[in-house]
Structure 1
Amino acid sequence: MKRKMMIDQAKVRVLLLESIHPDAVIRLEEDGFEVESVSTALDEPELIERISGVHLLGIRSKTKVTAKVLETADSLLAVGAFCIGTDQIDLTAATAAGVAVFNAPFSNTRSVVELAIAEIIAMTRRLTEKNALMHEGVWDKSADGAHEIRGRRLGIVGYGNIGTQLSVLAENLGMSVSFYDTADKLALSNAHRCATMDELLETSDIVTLHVDGRPGNAGFFGAEQFAKMKPGSLFLNLSRGIVIDHLALRDALKSGHLAGAGVDVFPSEPKGRGDEFLSELRGLPNVILTPHIGGSTEEAQSDIGGFVATKLAKFVVDGNTTLSVNLPGVALPEQPGQHRIIHVHRNTPGVLAQVNRILAEHDVNVEGQLLSTRGEYGYLITDIGGGYHEQIVDQLRSMPQTVRLRVLS
């Protein structure tokens, strides 16, 4: 479906789900947008019912933006993932519709890392068990099974933004660090790159996962991987719930092969606060369960709210796609007194020439222009001086390669 859009900025509608930080609301309202906030996630039928007429959608990790949702979204310009991951969004369908997707790849990194460090220390010192006994009135002052983290080896699976910062902080606390990543990553400080994940599992005292939720990662860590971990080692997953087999983890914990685990993410999570949480890991005394709060600090959520909201607002106002997850990155400086044409198109030869020929036929001068492509799609920004005829817009929209056309004044 081809879409031609000229939007009155004061009539831009924004729908924010899952209790997105108030800083996002403030930032978007500064540009005159109409913002509606919902505290919970919406499932597909609910979102389909609400998405019509919405120009900007903000979500966190629980709301799924599917192809059906995008097909129903008659006005949607962009989706903001107020988190790191974007696997909850059908990026292929979004790109095909010319809908930009933005996320916050760095804003909550420190918060996730600090939670990982806290859980490592808590499990290594057996704080969960000591705490439970104290609440039962039992005084168990003993050093049995309690250790310092200094000198222990941390194995990090996934050496991205979070993995690398965790690596640095862990070394500062006296730990040795190994990591495994399918991509070629530079080791920071004294971290050791493992040639295989098996090498990491067999040599680490603590294994922590920091991988994304792409379909290929679903269930990649199960009984076979837990069996290869050192007896008495610890396991953490603060990445995505689908990447591990929770029944296999429960078996490894109950058998005593693993001494403890910290889990923040789950294959199926409640939609809102207060809803019942179900898991095979409930009731195990050597497991720390947290409700997907790795990035849930006031500092991180404030940073995320401001960062993603700014990306969304600027995309509406100037069309620039810097740091877009799915569209080619284009940033053309604004020049006063000009009109800006945004052209999302299928990446075939001759599109730029065709656009410029249409403009030239109507004696329209190009004042600035920038094109970038990514895979099957291209993103073109063209600034023109003076006025323009609707006939120009109609011709550009009628090009067979056109996916979406926007005109910004």
Structure 2
Amino acid sequence: MPKVLISDKMSPLAEKTFKDRGVEVDYKPGLDKDELLKIIGDYDGLAIRSSTKVTPKVLEAAKNLKVVGRAGIGVDNVDVPAATNAGVVVMNTPFGNSITTAEHAIAMMMALVRQIPQANASTHAGKWEKSKFMGMEITGKTLGLIGCGNIGSVVAERALGLKMKVVAYDPFLAPERAADLGITKVELDDVFAKADVITLHTPLTDQTRGVVGVEAFKKMKDGVRIVNCARGGLIDEAALLDALNSGKVAGAALDVFEVEPATDNPLFGHDNVICTPHLGASTTEAQVNVALQVAEQMADYLLTGGVTNALNMPSLSAEEAPKLKPYMTLAEQIGGFAGQLTEHGLKRIMVEYEGAVAELNTKPLTAVVLEGLLSPLMSSVNMVNAPVIAKERNIQVTEVKHDREGDYHTLIKLTVETEKQTRTVTGTLFANQAPRIVEINGVRLEAEVEPNMLYVINDDKPGFIGALGSLLGYNGVNIATFALGRKIEGEEAVCLVAVDQPVQDIVLDQVAALAHVRQAKRLTF
């Protein structure tokens, strides 16, 4: 009988679920690190929340551990690479908190526009300042969403029920999905310009960090309200404070902060700021949901080998894994390549398999392609939940197998159609194990994917390669490999350069300013 340790406070239903499924379980919340190290070797599974730290030292002591299950979405307290190296599956429950977090955002908005916390404090103090707390009706007002995934779409539905107008910015929101929700999809600047209340529901990534900052505030309506129950760091807190003090922003309701736990923050004490201590997922129902989900997922894995919401393991049988491993790497690189170049809402995706790969189980490969494609702008995307996310956003995914064998014995081709363009990326395996990109938008080349790369589309003109190489050399950027391709002499060409360190913004701007450059993008893998 498998044995699981629950080391953080969790709903009793988790323990009951394990027992009902035939899994032995010990409930020992509050263990210190030494106590955990002493007993972890006895367990096949570890169920946690945010308190337990799953470090390399813990994993080294966990000789029998097969799975770590996080009841919730964040796995910051788990060393996922170390767990992968130790052969331990890491699971989370990414969809268990959606309703609760969305409802908290709506509650924060209502409290903000009617100044309820401030009026409450004033009344408790024995004051009767009725005229001081003049609110705003939300009926007929425009709510602007930055991010419209699981949580954002629930907020949209609730806001429509309150008779608000809803506009949303989300690069991955399909027009059909927006229409189904009854909202208007717009560009980010339109959200800033049109919204009376702006609420954020996007992950914190390199692209979204500080998305609401000095320049954003300049584009907003005077007297706008801001709600953030997503992630600290999405809002530039210093810029927000300035906007509050100037009156540009009438009020802000924040559940998350740049530094947490937030015990000291310049926004604290401001008359027009409402703060809560990251309560988005803090309801009885949400805690029960994630506890039940993690127990079910872990029991499935320990008893049957079924894998759900795994962050570091593909859904593969033992027989398939060795054959698919190099293809998994290729699929991730192709998806990641296309994802980093995608700037508009996805409509359709087609993954074509040709030659030797077409004879294999390609479902996991398509899931990995989707993971790579969606990851640049979304957090917590893995090969398990990527197809679900695509379906929820009405992104049409097609998988095609060809019996034919062309110039390469095996080939994977990804076609990505957005609202404004169609892009293709094709890859193969050299010697059945070394991934290579062999075609981009119909332009043939041969490139090995490296951690840091520069992608350039340029006019095929004499002297360009020398100018690019000189510019990179002048800036101290060492070139590892240099792949080139073109369709027709003198027309559009593609340049894919692997470099030894990330290309800095200032260098990227200089590349983009070179004569004959049509597009320049920094890629990381």
- 1:64-93: CA deviations, max 9, x gaps? 656676566543322222123445545455
Mapped pair 1:25 → 2:1: no
Aligned twin of 2:135: 146
SS of the residue aligned with 1:178? strand
- Match of 2:258? 267
- Counting aligned pairs with the same residue, the percent is 36
**2:298 paired residue among 312, 320, 324:** 312
- What are the Cα deviations for residues 1-29 of structure 1, in whole angstroms up to 9, with x where unaligned? xxxxxxx42xx242433x22222222224
Could you say if the C-alpha distance between residues 312 and 282 of structure 1 is closer, same or farther in structure 2, counting changes exceeding 3 Å? same
Match for residue 232 of structure 1?
A: 223
CA distance in 2, matches of 1:346, 1:289: 52
TM-score, normalised on structure 1? 0.70
State the SS of the aligned residue for 2:190: helix
Structure 1 CA distance for aligned equivalents of residues 43 and 246 of structure 2: 51
Deviation of 1:234 (Å): 1.0
Q: Residues 93 and 309 of structure 2 are in contact (CA less than 8 Å); yes or no, is this contact kept in structure 1?
A: no
Is 1:210 equivalent to 2:210 in the alignment?
Answer: no
Structure 1 contact 346–378 (Cα < 8 Å) conserved: no
- Measured after TM superposition, the shift of residue 141 of structure 1 is 1.8
**Matching residue of 1:391:** none
CA root-mean-square deviation: 3.6
Is the aligned partner of 1:156 residue 2:138?
Answer: no
- Superposed, which structure 2 residues align to 1:372-391 within 5 Å? 372-373=364-365, 375=368
Q: CA deviation at 1:38?
A: 2.5
Structure 2: distance between partners of 1:346 and 1:219: 43
Q: Does 1:180 align with 2:169?
A: yes
1:336-378 CA-partner distances (Å, limit 9, x unpaired): xxxxx68865844699xxxxxxxxxxxxxxxxx9994565999
Partner residue of 2:285? 299
* Distance across 1 between alignment mates of 2:143 and 2:305: 43
Paired residues in the alignment total 336
Contact 2:115 2:133 in 1 (8 A): no
Are the structure 2 counterparts of residues 170 and 118 from structure 1 closer, same or farther at C-alpha, using a change threshold of 3 Å?
same
Report the more deviating stretch, 151-160 or 106-115.
106-115
Structure 1 match to 2:100: 111
Secondary structure in 2 aligned to 1:242? coil
- TM-score normalized by structure 2? 0.56
Say whether 1:193 aligns with 2:185: yes
CA gap 1:95/1:342 in 2 versus in 1, 3 angstroms: farther
Maintained 8 Å contact 1:83/1:103: yes
Distance 1:66 1:324 in 2: 18
Residue 216 of structure 1 deviates from its aligned partner by 4.9
Q: 1:221 aligns with which of 212, 236, 260?
A: 212
- For residue 165 of structure 1, give the secondary structure of its aligned residue in structure 2: helix
Distance in 1 (CA, whole Å) between partners of 2:319 and 2:5 is 20
Per the alignment, in what secondary structure is the counterpart of residue 145 of structure 2? strand
CA distance in 2, matches of 1:343, 1:49: 36
**Preserved contact between residue 148 and residue 173 of structure 2 (Cα < 8 Å):** no
Q: How does 1:298-377 map to 2 (within 5 A)?
A: 298-329=284-315, 347-348=324-325, 372-373=364-365, 375=368
Structure 1 alignment gaps of length 5 or more: 1-7, 271-275, 333-340, 352-368, 380-400, 402-409
1:60–1:117: structure 2 CA closer, same or farther, 3 Å change rule?
Answer: same
Q: In the alignment, which of 133, 139, 148 is matched to residue 122 of structure 2? A: 133
2:267 aligns with: 281
**Distance in 2, Cα, partners of 1:202 & 1:378:** 36
Please name the residue that 2:491 is paired with: none
Q: Which has the higher contact order (CA 8 A, sep 6+)?
A: 1
Which residue of structure 1 lines up, in the alignment, with residue 449 of structure 2?
Answer: none
2:342 equivalent in structure 1: none
Query: Per-residue deviation at 1:148?
Result: 1.3
* Residue range with higher mean Cα deviation, 341-350 or 128-137: 341-350
Deviation at 1:243?
Answer: 2.8
- Note the residue ranges of structure 2 that are not aligned, 5 or more in a row: 329-360, 370-381, 385-432, 434-525
Counterpart among 243, 255, 258 of residue 252 in structure 1: 243
